[in-house]
């Protein structure tokens, strides 16, 4: 696991390339504290940089950028390839020799042997760049689920990429602010892909590779993987057996590590399944990390205690208080690579992991999205039916007092983005326009122009809700937040529910079986009912929740109306103090008007 960067710039000297790549990597040192390396190709005017977080083969043999024996291929890589040992064995059978135990060497030799076809063979979380001197090109590649981010920008005679958006300001290339980022943030609570806070700095789509031809300074983005769409499992018993088989494989793969490993254990269904299975297969090399609060309504310690009685692994519980929140508030805000209303909880729990010497943690992210754990799965049919009402009547919803009902306005959009914003949006276009002092049509046009994959148009009901949750909420917010908040502490987050083969399996199960009509995530519960105590699966969903509503009210940096000059913002913060606005909406105002 690393942070990576690269610069191609015809006008830069070798000294300039070294200077800027070093500065870019230094800005991401938190994500790769164990080693630093760079590689300059003077002829190509191309420079790679790497900050390493050592997880596999902790020796210097894992130093990056890494070369093939003939020096014709160079790689800088961020991530983990879970099936690297399988691929390594195949390559050894083909006559390849290895000088390390790293997955990095497997990637570069897999490309050496299979070419572009190697990318789809990789099962893991990754973003990497390979310079192929033979073809005079380089490839920028991102994993199939989009778990690890990578961003790029193209200017005349230059191309820059990095694991974090903030690194671009050190690239030596002129970068300007994206004038639309505040609109995106106030609508979504995050910046949706492919956009960022910087103009013309984009995220590479998941399951894609960018091929840059150095000879004519051109590039093209290719999709190398798409998840299966065919429904072929119609029997519940078969589905349960297959779920257990594939998830066991995923867990065993993702427990491979030469460094200490942990599990983020809240006490809920998803993290309980992972904790129990990890305890079975980790062979003593496991620590569960949990958070406690003085606010008793947010504590799940009683539910965790039931699981503790069933496992042998070590467990660490950390008390996190309002005082901790205030003391660390500036650090948390600065750790956000992009503005977001999520991730503070991940920052704290990964801080605890770091303090316990743990470099990798398993997370239950993905189960709700795959099996229907969110309220959106109940609301989607109602929203689809409301779409048949006249647009004029729907637009009048912005005059309603209820924040949730006001979001019905978004159903007047021509784009499916409107459905998502109706489900999860923060502010409606009229409020955004007042907060930013711009025309409402500017807001509407900006939001309707967000590109979406056409596959959403052919999905209905729970499958449609799952698409929104997987490809918008999880992709744009949860995964990005988990990445930069964990890596700010030099901790890697692994997500077994998002294993490549497991997603394909679950997607092939008929919706009538996959989504529980009367019980959330019923199929997942049925699959692991024998391992789980009834108290774990037979209770209402709580989620990985912190007492932010109370904490942010107490924190006057956020909740004092006097700090907001904008009249609408002042009124909204007053509503927050009166209990009529969710903390996430209040925090968005803070980030817009006062955040770094």
Cβ-Cβ contacts under 8 Å for 431 (sequence gap 6 or more): 186, 568, 572
End-to-end Cα separation, the chain, in angstroms: 27
**Would you state the pLDDT for residue 541?**
58
Distances (CA, A) of 93 to 86, 88, 96, 98, 389: 11, 9, 7, 12, 63
| Pairing assessment for the beta strands 492-494 and 360-362 based on DSSP bridges | parallel
* Burial zone of 454 (CB within 10 Å; 0-12 exposed, 13-18 middle, 19+ buried): exposed
**Would you state the pLDDT for residue 264?**
95
**Would you state the pLDDT for residue 296?**
60
Run of H or E including 37: strand 35-41
Tokens of 412: 């007047």
Tokens of 157: 């005679």
Residues 43, 103 contacting (CB under 8 angstroms): no
Distances (CA, A) of 164 to 79, 158, 180, 202, 393: 14, 18, 19, 11, 43
Residues 207, 146 contacting (CB under 8 angstroms): yes
Cα separation, 410 vs 397, whole angstroms: 9
Of the candidates 192, 590, 588, the one whose C-alpha atom is nearest the C-alpha of residue 426 is 588
Run of H or E including 8: strand 2-9
Cα separation, 485 vs 499, whole angstroms: 21
Residues 462, 511 contacting (CB under 8 angstroms): yes
Cβ-Cβ contacts under 8 Å for 332 (sequence gap 6 or more): 344, 347
**Would you state the pLDDT for residue 542?**
54
Looking at residue 532, what DSSP letter applies? S
* Angle of the 583-593 helix axis to the 567-577 helix axis, nearest 10: 150
Sites in the chain below the pLDDT cut of 70: 1, 57, 296-299, 387, 539-545, 596
Q: Give per-residue pLDDT as tens, 345-366.
A: 999 999 999 999 999 999 999 9
**Would you state the pLDDT for residue 258?**
80
Domains in the chain: ranges and CATH: 2-223 (3.60.20.10), 236-367+464-547 (3.40.50.620), 548-596 (no CATH)
Helix, strand or coil, per DSSP, at residue 224: coil
Cβ-Cβ contacts under 8 Å for 305 (sequence gap 6 or more): none
pTM for the whole structure? 0.95
Residues 507, 228 contacting (CB under 8 angstroms): yes
Helix, strand or coil, per DSSP, at residue 440: helix
Cα separation, 58 vs 34, whole angstroms: 9
CB neighbourhood size of 547 (10 A): 20
- The distance of Cα 386 from the centroid of its chain, to the nearest Å, equals 31
Q: How many helices (H) and strands (E) in the chain?
A: 26, 17
- Per the DSSP assignment, residues forming a β-bridge with 298 are none
What is the DSSP code string of 550-579?
Answer: HHHHH-HHHH-GGG--SHHHHHHHHHHHTT
Run of H or E including 66: strand 66-67
Distances (CA, A) of 517 to 194, 209, 384, 462, 513: 34, 39, 18, 10, 9
Cα separation, 37 vs 145, whole angstroms: 28
Cβ-Cβ contacts under 8 Å for 555 (sequence gap 6 or more): 325, 326, 329
Residues 3, 32 contacting (CB under 8 angstroms): yes
Cβ-Cβ contacts under 8 Å for 256 (sequence gap 6 or more): 56, 82, 85
Cβ-Cβ contacts under 8 Å for 416 (sequence gap 6 or more): 452, 456, 457
């Amino acid at each position: 696991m690393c942070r990576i960067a690269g610069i191609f710039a015809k006008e830069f000297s070798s000294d300039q390339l070294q200077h800027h790549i070093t500065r870019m990597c230094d800005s991401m040192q938190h994500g790769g504290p164990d080693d630093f390396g760079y590689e300059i190709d003077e002829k190509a005017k191309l420079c790679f940089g790497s900050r390493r977080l050592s997880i596999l083969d902790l020796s210097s043999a894992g130093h990056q950028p890494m070369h093939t024996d003939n020096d014709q291929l160079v790689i800088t890589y961020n991530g983990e390839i879970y099936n690297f040992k399988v691929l390594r064995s195949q390559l050894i059978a083909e006559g390849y020799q290895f000088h390390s135990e790293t997955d990095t060497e497997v990637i570069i030799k897999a490309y050496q042997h299979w070419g572009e076809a190697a990318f789809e063979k990789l099962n893991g979380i990754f973003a990497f760049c390979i310079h192929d001197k033979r073809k005079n090109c380089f490839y920028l590649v991102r994993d199939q689920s989009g778990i690890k981010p990578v961003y790029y920008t193209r200017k005349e005679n230059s191309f820059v990429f990095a694991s974090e958006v903030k690194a671009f300001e050190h690239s030596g290339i002129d970068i300007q602010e994206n004038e639309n980022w505040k609109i995106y943030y106030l609508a979504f609570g995050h910046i949706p892909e492919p956009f960022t806070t910087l103009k013309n700095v984009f995220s590479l789509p998941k399951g894609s590779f960018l091929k840059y031809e150095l000879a004519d300074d051109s590039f093209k983005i290719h999709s190398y993987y798409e998840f299966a769409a065919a429904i072929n499992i119609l029997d519940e018993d078969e589905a349960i057996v297959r779920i257990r088989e594939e998830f066991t494989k995923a867990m065993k793969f993702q427990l491979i590590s030469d460094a200490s490993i942990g599990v983020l254990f809240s006490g809920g269904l998803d993290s309980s399944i992972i904790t129990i299975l990890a305890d079975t297969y980790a062979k003593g090399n496991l620590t569960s990390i949990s958070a406690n609060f003085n606010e008793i309504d947010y504590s799940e310690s009683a539910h965790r205690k039931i699981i503790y009685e069933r496992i042998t692994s070590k467990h660490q519980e950390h008390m996190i208080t309002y005082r901790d929140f205030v003391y660390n508030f500036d650090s948390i805000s600065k750790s956000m690579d992009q503005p977001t209303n999520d991730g503070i909880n991940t920052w704290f729990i990964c801080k605890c992991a770091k303090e316990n010497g743990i470099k990798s943690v398993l997370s239950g992210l993905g189960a709700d999205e795959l099996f229907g754990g969110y309220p959106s799965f109940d609301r989607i049919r109602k929203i689809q039916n409301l779409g048949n009402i006249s647009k004029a009547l729907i637009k009048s919803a912005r005059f309603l007092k209820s924040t949730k009902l006001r979001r019905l306005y978004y159903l007047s959009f021509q784009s499916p983005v409107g459905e998502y914003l109706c489900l999860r949006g923060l502010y409606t276009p009229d409020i955004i326009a007042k907060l930013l002092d711009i025309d409402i049509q500017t807001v509407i046009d900006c939001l309707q122009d967000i590109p979406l994959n056409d596959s959403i148009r052919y999905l209905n009901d729970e499958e449609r809700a799952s698409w929104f949750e997987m490809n918008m909420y999880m992709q744009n917010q949860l995964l990005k937040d988990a990445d930069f908040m964990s890596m700010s502490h030099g901790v890697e987050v692994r997500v077994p529910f998002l294993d490549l083969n497991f997603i394909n399996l679950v997607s092939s199960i008929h919706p009538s079986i996959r989504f529980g009509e009367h019980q959330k995530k019923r199929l997942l519960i049925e699959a692991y009912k024998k391992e789980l105590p009834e108290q774990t699966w037979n209770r209402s969903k709580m989620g990985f929740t912190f007492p932010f509503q109370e904490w942010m009210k107490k924190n006057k940096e956020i909740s004092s109306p006097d700090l907001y000059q904008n009249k609408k913002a002042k009124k909204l913060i007053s509503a927050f103090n009166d209990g009529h606005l969710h903390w996430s909406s209040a925090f968005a105002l803070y980030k817009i008007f006062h955040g770094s």
